[in-house]
Amino acid sequence: MSRFGSEGEDIIGKWSEDKLALLAKYLKAYSVIMNDQKKSWLREYYYIDAFAGSVRPRAKEDEQRYIDGSPLRALQTEPKFDAYFFIDVSSRRIERIEMLREDFPHSRIEIYEGNCNNVLRDNIIPQIPYASKKRAFVFLDPYGLQVDWETIQDLANTKTCDIFINFSVMGVTRLLPKDQPPQSEALEQISKVMGSTDWINQIYQPPAQVQLSLFENPEPTLSRETIRAEWLASLYTEHLSSLFPHVSKAVLMKNSTNSALYALCLASHNQTAVKITNDIFNRYEHLSQIS
């Protein structure tokens, strides 16, 4: 969760800066390709930011240094998107985003205050059906476990959206007690975010009693004690693959203590989009990649 500086802006860590740099590189590649498609079949293409956040957050390591947030990175991308949709639940952040209209007077900017799941389903997705010959890039960068699996399904069903999603592995891990299976409320929340909780039974089974001979090795056992962020990230991308035909590898976003917070990946109906994403991820050698 972000903390606020003296002027109410978000303060973000190095991992968030990496995430924004990856976003900017992909947006440039995406916009070049989409703009070229407008010469033939494509009518318009949009940028959709479901957690638009701060326009210019400050760096945690140096609070005198400002960083361009995702709305600015999108608006500065060339070629320009045909429209920009910014969503945030915070009225304070919405006020800052509103100011962008003055800085980018020739850009079509639509701003929504509210729960992104509701706004996407009710206001934005109906504007981009497959027959519309429109396409959209959707950035899902929640502060925790705010993106419903049902929303991911609805975005996938349009067949017009690429989604760049920052999945909170930390948020899911916190809902998995070490000494007993999660209670019904936690299970419901995990299911709401991941679409399934069938896999949870695996990690709370008692270890199998394995009789060893001189030539046998024990099979590795998945358990709550050994579950890793990499496994959760792989599980989430596997779930995404049931909705999107092409899903990139994921990169783990880690904090200063090397704890995994999020897993960032792209899901698309276009194989080229995933190839571009994987190529961009490969350039960031310090990030942990998961195939």
Residue 59 confidence (pLDDT): 55
Residue 229 confidence (pLDDT): 87
Rg over alpha carbons for the chain, rounded to the nearest Å, is 20
Residue 17 confidence (pLDDT): 81
Does 217 fall in a domain?
no
Q: Classify 81 in phi/psi space as left (phi over 0), alpha (psi -120 to 50) or beta.
A: beta
Residue 180 confidence (pLDDT): 84
In Å, how far are 172, 201, 253, 274 from 146, measured between CA atoms? 11, 24, 18, 24
**Residue-wise pLDDT tens digits, 211-225:** 444 445 444 455 666
CATH number at residue 95: 3.40.50.150
**Residue-wise pLDDT tens digits, 13-71:** 577 888 999 999 999 999 999 999 999 999 999 999 999 988 766 656 666 567 788 99
Q: How far apart are CA 252 and CA 265, in angstroms?
A: 9
> Tokens 């920052």 — which residue?
166
Length of the chain: 291
Structure token pair of residue 36: 């070229």
Does 197 fall in a domain?
no
147/211: higher pLDDT? 147
* Highest mean pLDDT out of 170-179, 206-215, 242-251: 242-251
Residue 151 confidence (pLDDT): 98
Residue 215 confidence (pLDDT): 45
Does 152 fall in a domain?
yes
Residue 63 confidence (pLDDT): 60
Reduce the secondary structure of the chain to three states and give it as a string: CCEECCCCCEEECHHHHHHHHHHHHHHHHHHHHHHHHCCCCCCEEEEEECCCCCCCCEECCCCCCECCCHHHHHHHCCCCCCEEEEEECCHHHHHHHHCHHHHCCCCCEEEEECCHHHHHHHHHHHHCCHHHCEEEEEEECCCCCCCCHHHHHHHHHHCCEEEEEEECHHHHHCCCCCCCCCCHHHHHHHHHHHCCCCCHHHHCCCCCCCCCCCCCCCCCCCCCCCCCHHHHHHHHHHHHCCCCCEECCEEEEECCCCCEEEEEEEEECCHHHHHHHHHHHHCCCCCEEEC
Lowest-pLDDT choice from 52-56, 208-212, 269-273, 284-288: 208-212
Does 282 fall in a domain?
yes
- Determine the average pLDDT of the residues in 126-130: 97
Does 149 fall in a domain?
yes
Query: Would you say residue 264 has pLDDT above 90?
Result: yes
Does 73 fall in a domain?
yes
Query: Would you say residue 1 has pLDDT above 50?
Result: no
86 lies in which domain range? Answer: 3-179+228-290
Does 159 fall in a domain?
yes
286/173: higher pLDDT? 173
Domains: count for the chain: 1
Does 188 fall in a domain?
no
- Determine the average pLDDT of the residues in 159-175: 96
